[in-house]
Chains A and B, each alone.
Chain A
């Protein structure tokens, strides 16, 4: 069994050299994120994750959360680890200083989320949802609600949940039926919510639920849904906890993965109705939910990177210790560890190359989020917001789809032992499997990308990104060693442009055809954007190597990995481009009855 070791060298490379932390630290309100502070934060977070969270990952998977007499019991050790996590102040990393947070930017928060998720994804979901609730209340809640809930959600003494899904309302939230009846200064909530992550547990004294529900006479569909804050224990005016609210956890799901994270069915208002307070204005709940869902989607994309990294480390450890067969062409002599076999190498390189590309892209999106929020210049803010909007479904969709692939490759490297739970390789695959589903499936992400992002603005941001990719060509050109990377990126960008043009032209006339090509287009975007970042990384590595500066071993490995990406991953762009432009017809040609 391997132990997690945060990939700090590559994380620092991306944060400092590829993105440039100094640029982010120079933004108003981001001054705390200086390079030395980021270094110290990464070191300490890595240590905490390695020593406290990682050892609980397998226990959490084997034991799982349990429902005992209506109470959810977290796996052994989780409550203690959560207490340590909150006491160390990690929960308030990106929280606002006025509520006790550290106000660090996303370029620090996202890498930390990678570290937590790699070490123990099921655990990490709890603080991740808490920060989502914080965000929603911070942006849309009344000063009263903020005062009541935000300090405890920052310190982590209370945790938060999101209650969207109902049995009949999954991806289609317009079908939400939960009712909210006005009563004095509050509402009484009645209904059943499912798939509530960490919806009930014994790690903290109070849980704050954000619940989508309909008020009497609200319009049908998405325009009639309001957002309510519903605490497990009512909070008195002096801040102390009062009566238990009318919320019950009636069951928890048996799932493929993330066993330690209780996925709850919550019954609201079996008795008198659960007391809830309206967040913001009536009927605007879904819109509010989406402000934080975009951040959460980037966060789930980050989980994809995190699980891929963990699966890679696990497989690498096995490949370096498992002795099997002689090196190819050797008929005698010692048997070798399987890392000496070319196909195992190929699998490891494929994992590594995709992880580095995904990490670079996800952190780039995080940096764009910081610029969109803090940049003093209006145009810069606007452009970066457009970039974040464009990249969010790509990071979410692509990084999670690849995570399933990468974790599966991790199992493959273990051979038969990978299929046996004992080696631990399968857990990452099982845990990764949810990431392409929750916070909007890959299909939902792709429709968002194609409809709301690309077609709606006639490909403007996509074209701007394509132009930035093309601008790299001139920098790559003088160096003959980078020629294969340059050629591969150019071909990928051409495929992306052709597909984007096709989508912009097709969507208004035939939205069905565009939707049929949406997921291949999303993957195409991810692969080419990843190739773009790897090419940028190769340029930096080459410059440093030429100047004989810094960690030459790291830079030469980065260069090889960028070549691998250009030769093995990026060429898939052409095939995906073909599918986008030519493939919609056969998707839709059969009648439903012919299936």
Chain B
């Protein structure tokens, strides 16, 4: 069966993020970028399923600037078979992402879509759920285990207070949680091979999708700096300060 995996290019998690001086967003120019860690887990899952003989082809999709091709190459170096970049210049919000992906799914007809549960840059955690809704497919968000079983998949979801085990009908959308697997290191021979794998670049207009933002970002600012602390004499004083000064209780 064919699997579609989505990958997003984000600021490297080890980089200190800086807010742009005009408050319009965060600085991404000349900053180390990498594949969103949850997307890496999604790619790894597809590869493991291919190695197990469950999956026959892995198609990776990314939406964004031209440099997202590097992210797709990394996914192909991990083991994906081919890549599709939907090239865009500006911000693409979750609903637009879901619409673009729906168009790709209509074109590629995969039996399973695996996505990261969220991207570590905006932490939206929406695209997977929206895609499932647009497609009218079952979904399993926050997935920590998946086993395909004929025309269904047995999944384990991480929910508040425990684990939820479900069986969902395929085709379906699955979003990966941290514990689904531990992604492999890319091997050198596979980096070399990835260069020769097919990578298609298309524009959202060609898919007939309007990606214009529906939400307006008013301002992005740094979280307030932590001030110096004070010593309190007793619990009573602490409670008073929490009530009157910090106003948290």
Give A536-589 interface residues, CB cut-off 8 Å to B. 550-551, 553-554
Interface residues, chain B, CB within 8 Å of chain A?
A: 14, 29-30, 32, 34, 70, 73-74, 77, 185-192, 194-195
In the complex the two chains form, what is the Cα distance from A595 to B25 in whole Å? 70
- Answer yes or no: A32 CB below 8 A from chain B CBs: yes
Whether the pair B77, A44 counts as a contact (CB closer than 8 A) is yes
In the complex the two chains form, what is the Cα distance from A186 to B187 in whole Å? 38
Whether the pair A87, B187 counts as a contact (CB closer than 8 A) is yes
In the complex the two chains form, what is the Cα distance from A554 to B34 in whole Å? 20
In the complex the two chains form, what is the Cα distance from A32 to B192 in whole Å? 8
Q: Mark A35-53, 1 if CB is under 8 A from B, else 0.
A: 0110111011001100110
Whether the pair A102, B195 counts as a contact (CB closer than 8 A) is no
Whether the pair B191, A41 counts as a contact (CB closer than 8 A) is yes
Whether the pair B30, A52 counts as a contact (CB closer than 8 A) is no
Whether the pair A88, B186 counts as a contact (CB closer than 8 A) is yes
Whether the pair A39, B188 counts as a contact (CB closer than 8 A) is no
Whether the pair B74, A52 counts as a contact (CB closer than 8 A) is no
Whether the pair B185, A40 counts as a contact (CB closer than 8 A) is no
Interface bracket on A? 20 to 34
- Some 19 contacts from A to B, beta carbons below 8 A apart, are A5-B14, A34-B195, A40-B70, A40-B74, A40-B194, A41-B188, A43-B74, A44-B74, A44-B185, A44-B191, A47-B185, A48-B185, A52-B185, A88-B186, A89-B189, A90-B188, A93-B188, A553-B30, A554-B30
- Please give, as numbers and ranges, the residues of chain A lying within 8 Å of B191 by CB-CB distance: 37, 40-41, 44
- Please give, as numbers and ranges, the residues of chain A lying within 8 Å of B195 by CB-CB distance: 34, 36-37
Residue of B with least CB distance to A334: B228
Given contacts A36-B195, A102-B192, A551-B30, contact A88 B185 (CB under 8 A): yes
- Answer yes or no: A168 CB below 8 A from chain B CBs: no
Name the distance in Å between B226's Cβ and chain A's nearest Cβ: 14
In the complex the two chains form, what is the Cα distance from A48 to B189 in whole Å? 15
- Please give, as numbers and ranges, the residues of chain B lying within 8 Å of A5 by CB-CB distance: 14
Q: Mark A74-106, 1 if CB is under 8 A from B, else 0.
A: 000000000010011110110000000010000
- Answer yes or no: A8 CB below 8 A from chain B CBs: yes
Given contacts A87-B187, A88-B185, A89-B189, contact A40 B77 (CB under 8 A): yes
In the complex the two chains form, what is the Cα distance from A550 to B30 in whole Å? 8
- Please give, as numbers and ranges, the residues of chain B lying within 8 Å of A47 by CB-CB distance: 185
- Please give, as numbers and ranges, the residues of chain A lying within 8 Å of B186 by CB-CB distance: 44, 88
In the complex the two chains form, what is the Cα distance from A52 to B32 in whole Å? 20
Whether the pair B188, A88 counts as a contact (CB closer than 8 A) is yes
- Please give, as numbers and ranges, the residues of chain B lying within 8 Å of A34 by CB-CB distance: 195
Name the distance in Å between A7's Cβ and chain B's nearest Cβ: 11
Q: Mark A284-295, 1 if CB is under 8 A from B, else 0.
A: 000000000000
In the complex the two chains form, what is the Cα distance from A51 to B37 in whole Å? 14
In the complex the two chains form, what is the Cα distance from A87 to B184 in whole Å? 11
- Please give, as numbers and ranges, the residues of chain B lying within 8 Å of A48 by CB-CB distance: 185
- Please give, as numbers and ranges, the residues of chain A lying within 8 Å of B194 by CB-CB distance: 40
**Can you name 20 extra interface pairs (CB under 8 A) apart from A89-B189, A550-B30?**
A5-B14, A36-B70, A36-B73, A37-B195, A39-B70, A41-B188, A41-B191, A43-B34, A44-B74, A44-B185, A44-B188, A44-B191, A52-B185, A87-B187, A88-B185, A88-B188, A89-B187, A90-B188, A92-B189, A554-B30
The 8 Å CB contact of B73, one of A40, A88, A554, is A40
Name the distance in Å between B73's Cβ and chain A's nearest Cβ: 6
Residue in A36, A43, A90, A92 with the greatest tally of chain B CB atoms within 10 Å: A43
- Please give, as numbers and ranges, the residues of chain B lying within 8 Å of A554 by CB-CB distance: 30
Name the distance in Å between B182's Cβ and chain A's nearest Cβ: 11
In the complex the two chains form, what is the Cα distance from A283 to B30 in whole Å? 56
Name the distance in Å between A262's Cβ and chain B's nearest Cβ: 26
In the complex the two chains form, what is the Cα distance from A34 to B196 in whole Å? 13
Give A1-22 interface residues, CB cut-off 8 Å to B. 5, 8
Whether the pair A102, B30 counts as a contact (CB closer than 8 A) is no
Name the distance in Å between B236's Cβ and chain A's nearest Cβ: 31
Name the distance in Å between A549's Cβ and chain B's nearest Cβ: 11
Give A357-395 interface residues, CB cut-off 8 Å to B. none
Ranked nearest first, the 8 interchain pairs of A and B with the lowest CB-CB distance are: A89-B188, A551-B30, A88-B187, A89-B187, A44-B186, A89-B189, A40-B191, A88-B185
- Please give, as numbers and ranges, the residues of chain A lying within 8 Å of B187 by CB-CB distance: 87-89
- Please give, as numbers and ranges, the residues of chain B lying within 8 Å of A553 by CB-CB distance: 30
In the complex the two chains form, what is the Cα distance from A87 to B187 in whole Å? 7
Residue of B with least CB distance to A37: B195
Name the distance in Å between B201's Cβ and chain A's nearest Cβ: 15
Give A426-452 interface residues, CB cut-off 8 Å to B. none
- Please give, as numbers and ranges, the residues of chain A lying within 8 Å of B73 by CB-CB distance: 36, 40
Name the distance in Å between A547's Cβ and chain B's nearest Cβ: 15
Whether the pair A102, B189 counts as a contact (CB closer than 8 A) is yes
The 8 Å CB contact of B32, one of A8, A32, A44, A84, is A8
Residue of B with least CB distance to A554: B30
Whether the pair A84, B185 counts as a contact (CB closer than 8 A) is yes
In the complex the two chains form, what is the Cα distance from A551 to B194 in whole Å? 28
Name the distance in Å between A548's Cβ and chain B's nearest Cβ: 12
Name the distance in Å between A555's Cβ and chain B's nearest Cβ: 10
Residue in A39, A89, A554 with the greatest tally of chain B CB atoms within 10 Å: A89
Name the distance in Å between B69's Cβ and chain A's nearest Cβ: 9
Whether the pair A92, B188 counts as a contact (CB closer than 8 A) is yes
- Please give, as numbers and ranges, the residues of chain A lying within 8 Å of B189 by CB-CB distance: 89, 92, 102
- Please give, as numbers and ranges, the residues of chain A lying within 8 Å of B185 by CB-CB distance: 44, 47-48, 51-52, 84, 88
Name the distance in Å between B60's Cβ and chain A's nearest Cβ: 15
In the complex the two chains form, what is the Cα distance from A314 to B27 in whole Å? 26
Residue of A with least CB distance to B190: A89
In the complex the two chains form, what is the Cα distance from A47 to B191 in whole Å? 14
- Please give, as numbers and ranges, the residues of chain A lying within 8 Å of B30 by CB-CB distance: 550-551, 553-554
Residue in A32, A88, A92, A554 with the greatest tally of chain B CB atoms within 10 Å: A88
Name the distance in Å between A24's Cβ and chain B's nearest Cβ: 16
In the complex the two chains form, what is the Cα distance from A90 to B29 in whole Å? 30
Residue in B188, B194, B195 with the greatest tally of chain A CB atoms within 10 Å: B188
